[in-house]
């Protein structure tokens, strides 16, 4: 019985236990009864009863039905009515309710207890024949479809015919006589379909309805839902049996649903719909136009005032926004259900913050109530859910790939970077579509609204750059066949021509044909800013950013970054006007020419670094020295060969000597590039001459970078701004590499400071991104003043899985088949990579107490990985600017 919740709590041991025993609905009905909210009398058959029934081969466990009958007697006593008594009949509803809400997945039967005799009694009591026979036909219809599985269409056909015959639009206009005929027809259908009569005996109705709810736990819909929502299959459902109250007893009766706050915006205002003179399912079924709940204030001021008071009592009691169902029977308000309300990300944040201000919850609770995913939602425009559903229904969803950079983007498809840039300059929205991207595609990516590739993984170039710039991106969509000759994309039966509209959902990985409507959330949301400031009070991890350009640093600081954890210095080589010098630097064998080329690049780099120092204004700035192998800066070998073949053909048809000379000149240039590219070519460049190895073999380049850093530092210091450069050496595996490189670079740093007459507060450190470095971190710490975990490479080398190929290959199947719990390039592999990190932090700090240790791989913005970083006691996590707010919240969650 609802008023025995104290005993239930004692038996179950906790409120969570009560929910498990009585289901969410039963527990909350009991709880509302306990706090004096008007709930019709009733009782709940526990989930234990359901589980015993299901495991016992569909038999009621001993005593269960006797207990149900006994409880029914108590409800009779509480209501003064009697089940099956035509003089004063009690009617009940029978509703399912599991521990976790499974909306619409299981069964409900209303008006149990009605039969030919009690119906006559009800008419005498209410004087409303129409209402009674409408209720009776609802019972037969629901019982028929829910309990014995008759197709509902058969019943609906009868209703449609009745409306046509009586010449009315809606059911509520049908007369009592019509309802009586409908009931006769319904009973005939029941008999025809089941071979037996509709059970008139109320106790039989109740017993069968209880069983139907038990069985619905294992219905296909419910099983599928549990699989999707990760709900255990052995919980079982409870069955709540509640005395019926009627919203369809005249114009002083009504029924409705409401939320205590606005579920879209979070605004503190009751929102909902109701219908006068109607029964529960009419409101949700959408047959009649519902009224806004504010109208109820005018129509039934007394009941509304009570409703408002109860809504606020429920919120205060549960300390959560509530989603309620109610019925008003002849002016008397009854609450039929309450549960925590579903809400958008914006509403979740606003409600959490408002509830702290209202004194309902603590700041800690508010921070814990918002998920990192919800914060992510604020950072990017999203597709309208309705628009997506419509596009799917139309067959416009083309494929699903890796959702590497969230947000929604639409635009016309451009198949190369130059065209993407050109169209964007013409004012068009563009989606850049490529098999994969390379550093020299960046201008197109920047110009595009979104990025789509058919190859590549979570740490592919396209993914890194997209996240860095907050561009929605879906990569590794293997279903896309990009035909560069025909300039078109084929996906199954669809052909998308260059210039056709595409919509890319970086949040879900879905790709659509056409232009879908978007909604734009707002990062300046004052509630979000407030919530994140509380998160900052609880977290102990620093949150830094990966930023290569001053404008990224600026944005990151606006989002709350406390330092730069990674500036990939080579990205600047691709800026306009620099590539010729970079090429020259790579092509020449003459030291003097290389010197000239480096001297030309140096002022650019100095300006870049100075810009970062200015934006960060005294916060630490970690600049990583050149990492990729040199051949990455050269044109592609295959392209070069094609171009040379082209020139040869043109030479045969050249009309003038001048033209021939021009072509020969070009041929020689390209041939040289090809020779160099061939020479630098490595079968496995990821494990080749890159990082510190390149720094040692071609020391002039990293020396130039260090000079640029220190010249910039001196320049900005003279402007009166404090600078804290930290120079980071990539891909070290052995302490000696660091020793050699550091000596060379320290000398350069000292030289600059001496020239400029200034002392700069700086550090030399290294990335830990190879297993050997992690395992020998104690030795490495002798020469490194800080560590930064490059978990992209560390994952690649620990697992021996290529970061660029795996996610379009076997790794996806591994994850789908559950061979790996997570994608290790998205969430740190705790047992392998995580263990190496633990060893490195322990050894590093043993050698150099309190040493700064951070992470700058893509995992730095992933909440589960952030939790590990907190546990390992890292100094900070560094992630792309657009993930800073998420990391701030996740770091607080890890600490709480
Ligand atoms: C890493 O390896 O994790 C890293 C940050 O470096 P990159 O991604 O540039 O190789
Ligand atoms: Mg790396």
494 has catalytic annotation: no
- Percent of the chain exceeding pLDDT 70 equals 98
Q: What pLDDT, on the 0 to 100 scale, is given for residue 390? A: 93
* pLDDT of 163 higher than 80: yes
CATH 3.50.30.10 in the chain, residues?
Answer: 381-519
Ligand 2 centroid to residue 548 C-alpha, Å: 15
Question: Strands across the sheet with 480-483, in order?
Answer: 480-483, 488-491, 494-497
Q: Could you identify the residue written with the tokens 């005018």?
A: 298
Asked if 337 contacts 325 with a C-beta cutoff of 8 angstroms, the reply is yes
Cβ of 548 less than 6 Å from ligand 1: no
> What's the pLDDT tens digit per position in 437-449?
876 788 898 899 9
Helix (H, G, I), strand (E, B) or coil at 395: coil
Distance (Å, whole) CA 870 – CA 342: 30
CATH 3.30.1490.20 in the chain, residues?
Answer: 2-243
Mean pLDDT calculated for residue range 477-485: 91
Distance (Å, whole) CA 564 – CA 620: 6
Cβ of 627 less than 6 Å from ligand 1: yes
CATH of domain 539-629+686-895: 3.20.20.60
Ligand 1 centroid to residue 790 C-alpha, Å: 5
Pocket test for ligand 1, best of 627, 797, 824 (most atoms within 8 A of CB): 627
Cβ of 790 less than 6 Å from ligand 1: yes
Helix (H, G, I), strand (E, B) or coil at 712: helix
Element (H, E) at 724: strand 724-729
Mean pLDDT calculated for residue range 556-567: 96
* pLDDT of 310 higher than 60: yes
Q: What pLDDT, on the 0 to 100 scale, is given for residue 196? A: 96
Neighbours of 839 (CB within 10 A): 17
In this structure, the residue with its CA closest to atom 9 of ligand 1 is 568
Give the nearest ligand 1 atom to 858 CA: 3
Alpha helices in 319-441 (DSSP H): 345-357, 363-369, 372-379, 385-393, 417-425
Element (H, E) at 564: strand 564-568
* pLDDT of 287 higher than 60: no
Ligand 1 centroid to residue 788 C-alpha, Å: 10
Q: What pLDDT, on the 0 to 100 scale, is given for residue 281? A: 66
**pLDDT interval class at 522 (50, 70, 90):** low
Greatest CA separation found in the chain?
Answer: 115
Distance (Å, whole) CA 542 – CA 884: 11
Mean pLDDT calculated for residue range 198-223: 92
Ligand 1 centroid to residue 768 C-alpha, Å: 10
Asked if 554 contacts 613 with a C-beta cutoff of 8 angstroms, the reply is no
Helix (H, G, I), strand (E, B) or coil at 781: coil
| Binding site listing | 568, 624, 769, 790-793
In terms of Cβ atoms closer than 10 Å to its own Cβ (0-12, 13-18, 19+), residue 224 is exposed
Q: What pLDDT, on the 0 to 100 scale, is given for residue 463? A: 79
* pLDDT of 453 higher than 60: yes
Question: Which residues are near ligand 2, the ion (C-beta closer than 5 Å)?
Answer: 769, 790, 793
In this structure, the residue with its CA closest to atom 4 of ligand 1 is 790
> What's the pLDDT tens digit per position in 643-693?
999 999 999 998 899 999 999 999 999 999 999 999 999 999 999 999 999
Mean pLDDT calculated for residue range 23-38: 96
Q: What pLDDT, on the 0 to 100 scale, is given for residue 282? A: 66
Which pair of structure tokens corresponds to residue 422?
A: 């050109």
Residues 6+ apart with CB under 8 A from 896: 364, 367, 368, 538
Distance (Å, whole) CA 710 – CA 748: 9
Element (H, E) at 594: helix 591-616
* pLDDT of 286 higher than 50: no
| Binding site listing for substrate | 568, 624, 769, 790-793
- Residues composing the chain: 896
In this structure, the residue with its CA closest to atom 8 of ligand 1 is 792
What contacts 24+ positions apart, CB below 8 Å, involve 181-184? Answer: 182/133, 182/137, 182/158, 183/133, 183/136, 183/137, 183/140
Cβ of 261 less than 6 Å from ligand 1: no
Q: What pLDDT, on the 0 to 100 scale, is given for residue 865? A: 98
Cβ of 263 less than 6 Å from ligand 1: no
> What's the pLDDT tens digit per position in 711-730?
999 999 999 999 999 999 99
Tell me the fold of 254-343: D-amino Acid Aminotransferase; Chain A, domain 1 (3.30.470)
Mean pLDDT calculated for residue range 510-539: 91
Distance (Å, whole) CA 167 – CA 764: 87
CATH 3.20.20.60 in the chain, residues?
Answer: 539-629+686-895
Residues 6+ apart with CB under 8 A from 769: 730, 731, 789, 790, 791, 792, 793, 794, 797, 857
Q: Could you identify the residue written with the tokens 């600026």?
A: 554
CA-closest candidate to residue 336, choices 79, 33, 106, 104: 33
Residues 6+ apart with CB under 8 A from 230: none
Task: Given the residues 50, 94, 380, 461, select the one marked as catalytic.
Answer: 461
CATH 3.30.470.20 in the chain, residues?
Answer: 254-343
Cβ of 861 less than 6 Å from ligand 1: no
Residues 6+ apart with CB under 8 A from 396: 512, 513, 514
Pocket test for ligand 1, best of 456, 459, 464 (most atoms within 8 A of CB): 459
* pLDDT of 747 higher than 50: yes
In this structure, the residue with its CA closest to atom 10 of ligand 1 is 793
Q: Note the ipTM here.
A: 0.99
Cβ of 791 less than 6 Å from ligand 1: yes
Give the nearest ligand 1 atom to 856 CA: 5
Q: Which residues share a beta bridge with 394?
A: none
Cβ of 460 less than 6 Å from ligand 1: no
| Binding site listing for Mg(2+) | 769, 793
Out of 59-68, 466-475, 787-796, pick the least confident: 466-475
* pLDDT of 536 higher than 50: yes
Asked if 378 contacts 523 with a C-beta cutoff of 8 angstroms, the reply is yes
Pocket test for ligand 1, best of 626, 792, 794, 803 (most atoms within 8 A of CB): 792
> What's the pLDDT tens digit per position in 335-375?
999 999 878 788 899 999 999 999 999 999 999 999 998 89
CATH of the domain spanning 381-519, picked from 3.30.465.10, 3.40.50.2000, 1.10.3720.10, 3.50.30.10: 3.50.30.10
Cβ of 568 less than 6 Å from ligand 1: yes
Ligand 1 centroid to residue 769 C-alpha, Å: 8
Q: Which ligand is nearest to the CA of 546?
A: 1
CATH 3.30.1490.20 fits 2-243, yes or no: yes
Q: What pLDDT, on the 0 to 100 scale, is given for residue 507? A: 84
Asked if 82 contacts 88 with a C-beta cutoff of 8 angstroms, the reply is yes
Question: Strands across the sheet with 254-259, in order?
Answer: 291-292, 271-276, 254-259, 322-329, 332-340
Out of 11-25, 188-202, 572-586, pick the least confident: 572-586
Task: Given the residues 567, 856, 869, 879, select the one marked as catalytic.
Answer: 856
Cβ of 82 less than 6 Å from ligand 1: no
pTM for this structure? 0.82
Q: Which ligand is nearest to the CA of 465?
A: 1
The region, left, alpha or beta by phi > 0 then psi within -120 to 50, assigned to residue 560 is left
**pLDDT interval class at 458 (50, 70, 90):** low
Asked if 270 contacts 293 with a C-beta cutoff of 8 angstroms, the reply is yes
* pLDDT of 103 higher than 70: no
Cβ of 877 less than 6 Å from ligand 1: no
Cβ of 769 less than 6 Å from ligand 1: yes
Alpha helices in 781-873 (DSSP H): 791-799, 810-816, 835-847, 863-871
Q: What pLDDT, on the 0 to 100 scale, is given for residue 63? A: 92
In terms of Cβ atoms closer than 10 Å to its own Cβ (0-12, 13-18, 19+), residue 855 is buried
**pLDDT interval class at 759 (50, 70, 90):** very high
Give the nearest ligand 1 atom to 546 CA: 5
Q: Which ligand is nearest to the CA of 464?
A: 1
Buried b (16+ CB within 10 A) or exposed e, 559-573: bbbbbbbbbbbbbbb
Asked if 751 contacts 745 with a C-beta cutoff of 8 angstroms, the reply is no
Buried b (16+ CB within 10 A) or exposed e, 225-244: bbeeeebeeebbbbbbbbbb
853 has catalytic annotation: no
């Amino acid at each position: 019985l609802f008023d025995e919740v104290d005993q239930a709590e004692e038996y179950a041991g906790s409120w969570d236990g009560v929910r498990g025993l009585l289901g969410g609905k039963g527990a909350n009905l009991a709880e509302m009864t306990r706090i004096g909210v008007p709930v019709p009398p009733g009782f709940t058959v526990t989930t234990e009863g359901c589980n015993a029934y299901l495991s016992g081969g569909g038999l009621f466990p001993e005593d269960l039905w006797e207990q149900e009958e006994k409880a029914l007697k108590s409800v009779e006593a509480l209501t003064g009515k009697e089940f099956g008594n035509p003089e004063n009949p009690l009617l009940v509803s029978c509703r399912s309710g599991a521990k976790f809400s499974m909306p619409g997945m299981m069964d409900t039967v209303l008006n149990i207890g009605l039969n030919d005799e009690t119906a006559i009694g009800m008419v005498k009591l209410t004087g409303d024949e129409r209402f009674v026979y409408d209720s009776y036909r609802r019972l037969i219809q629901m019982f028929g479809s829910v309990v014995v599985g008759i197709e509902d269409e058969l019943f609906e056909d009868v209703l449609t015919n009745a409306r046509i015959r009586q010449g009315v639009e809606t059911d509520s206009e049908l007369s009592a006589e019509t309802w009586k005929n409908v009931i006769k027809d319904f009973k005939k259908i029941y008999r025809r379909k089941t071979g037996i009569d509709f059970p008139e005996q109320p106790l039989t109705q109740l017993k069968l309805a209880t069983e139907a709810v038990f069985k619905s736990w294992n219905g296909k819909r419910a099983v599928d839902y549990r699989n999707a929502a990760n709900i255990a299959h052995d919980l079982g459902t409870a069955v709540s049996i509640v005395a019926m109250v009627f919203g369809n007893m005249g114009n002083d009766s009504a029924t409705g649903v409401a939320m205590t706050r606005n579920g879209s915006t979070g605004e503190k205002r009751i929102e909902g719909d109701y219908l006068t003179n109607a029964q529960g399912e009419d409101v949700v079924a959408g047959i009649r136009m519902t009224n806004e709940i504010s109208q109820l204030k005018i129509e039934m001021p007394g009941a509304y005032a009570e409703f408002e008071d109860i809504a606020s009592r429920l919120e205060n009691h549960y300390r959560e926004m509530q989603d309620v169902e109610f019925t008003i029977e002849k002016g008397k308000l009854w609450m039929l259900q309450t549960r925590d309300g579903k809400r958008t990300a914006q509403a979740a944040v606003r409600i959490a913050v408002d509830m702290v201000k209202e004194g309902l919850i603590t700041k800690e609770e508010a921070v814990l109530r918002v998920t990192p995913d919800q914060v992510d939602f604020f950072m990017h425009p999203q597709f309208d859910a309705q628009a997506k559903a419509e596009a799917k229904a139309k067959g416009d969803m083309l494929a699903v790939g890796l959702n590497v950079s969230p947000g929604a983007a639409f635009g016309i498809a451009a198949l190369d970077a130059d065209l993407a840039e050109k169209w964007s300059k013409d004012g068009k929205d563009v989606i850049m579509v490529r098999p994969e991207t390379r550093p020299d595609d960046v201008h197109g990516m920047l110009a595009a609204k979104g990025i789509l590739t058919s190859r590549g993984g979570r740490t592919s170039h396209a993914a890194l750059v997209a996240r860095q710039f907050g561009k929605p991106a879906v990569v590794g969509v293997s279903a896309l066949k990009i035909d560069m000759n025909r300039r078109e994309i084929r996906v199954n039966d669809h052909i998308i021509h260059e210039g056709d509209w595409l919509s890319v959902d970086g949040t879900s990985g879905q790709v659509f044909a056409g232009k879908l409507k978007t909604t734009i959330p707002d990062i300046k949301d004052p509630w979000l800013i407030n919530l994140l400031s509380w998160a900052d009070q609880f977290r102990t991890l620093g949150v830094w950013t990966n930023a290569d350009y001053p404008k990224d640093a600026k944005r990151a600081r606006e989002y709350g970054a406390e330092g730069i954890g990674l500036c990939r210095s080579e990205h600047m080589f691709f800026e306009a006007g620099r590539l010729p010098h970079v090429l020259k630097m790579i092509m020449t064998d003459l030291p003097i020419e290389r010197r000239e080329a480096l001297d030309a690049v140096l002022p650019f780099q100095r300006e870049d670094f100075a810009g970062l120092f200015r934006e960060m204004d005294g916060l630490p700035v970690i600049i990583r020295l050149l990492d990729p192998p040199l051949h990455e800066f050269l044109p592609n070998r295959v392209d070069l060969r094609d171009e040379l073949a082209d020139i040869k053909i043109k030479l045969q048809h050249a009309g003038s000597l001048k033209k021939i000379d021009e072509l020969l000149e070009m041929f020689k240039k390209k041939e040289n590039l090809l020779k160099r590219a061939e020479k630098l070519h490595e079968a496995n460049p990821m494990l080749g001459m890159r990082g510190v190895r390149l720094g040692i073999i071609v020391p002039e380049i990293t020396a130039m970078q260090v000079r640029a850093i220190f010249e910039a530092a001196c320049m900005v210091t003279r402007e009166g701004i404090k600078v804290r450069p930290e120079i980071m050496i990539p891909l070290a595996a052995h302490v000696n590499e660091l020793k050699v490189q550091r000596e060379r670079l320290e000398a350069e740093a000292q030289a600059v400071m001496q020239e400029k007459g200034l002392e700069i507060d700086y550090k030399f450190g290294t990335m830990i991104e190879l297993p050997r470095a992690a395992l020998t971190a104690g030795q490495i710490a002798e020469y490194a003043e800080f560590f930064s975990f490059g978990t992209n490479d560390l994952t690649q080398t620990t697992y021996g899985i290529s970061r660029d190929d795996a996610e379009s290959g076997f790794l996806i199947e591994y994850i789908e088949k559950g061979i790996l719990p997570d994608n290790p390039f998205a969430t740190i592999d705790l047992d392998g990579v995580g263990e190496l990190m633990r060893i490195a932090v322990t050894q590093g700090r043993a050698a150099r107490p309190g040493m700064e240790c951070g992470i700058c791989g893509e995992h730095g913005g992933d909440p589960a990985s952030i939790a590990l970083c907190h546990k390992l006691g890292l100094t900070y996590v560094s992630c792309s600017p657009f993930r800073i707010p998420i990391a701030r919240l996740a770091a607080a969650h890890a600490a709480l």
